[in-house]
Amino acid sequence: MVELGKYAGPVLAAYGVSLGLVLALVWLTLWKSRKMRRKLETLEREMGLHG
């Protein structure tokens, strides 16, 4: 494990906050994308369209 000395708290907190925010954003983006794709596919099937 890497030696962080007396600044372990701030460094880990900074990386933690950043990773948390990025992961939240990625998850939200993927979730919305999947939801929208499913909705559109359902509707296109109902209306007898393809593509």
Partner 1 sequence: MSIWEYANPRKFMQTSAWALPWVAGLAVVTLLTGLVWGFFFTVDDYRQGATVKILFVHVPAALMAVNSWLMMLVCSLIWLIRRHHVSALAAKAAAPVGVTMTLIALFTGAIWGQPMWGTWWAWDPRLTSFLILFLFYLGYIALWEAIEDPDTAADLTSVLCLVGSIFALLSRYAVNFWNQGLHQGASLSLAPGERMAMAFKLPLYVAMAGFVLLFVTLVLIRTRTEIRARRLRALEARGRMA
Binding mask 22-51 for partner 1 (x = CB under 8 A): x-xxx-xxx-xx--xx-xx--xx--x-x--
> Cβ(4)–Cβ(12) under 8 Å?
yes
Closest distance of CB 1 from partner 1, Å: 9
Closest distance of CB 37 from partner 1, Å: 6
Buried b (16+ CB within 10 A) or exposed e, 13-44: eeeeeeeeeeeeeeeeeeeeeeeeeeeeeeee
Radius of gyration (Cα) for the chain, nearest Å? 21
Binding site residues, partner 1, CB under 8 A: 2-8, 10-11, 13-15, 17-18, 21-22, 24-26, 28-30, 32-33, 36-37, 39-40, 43-44, 47, 49
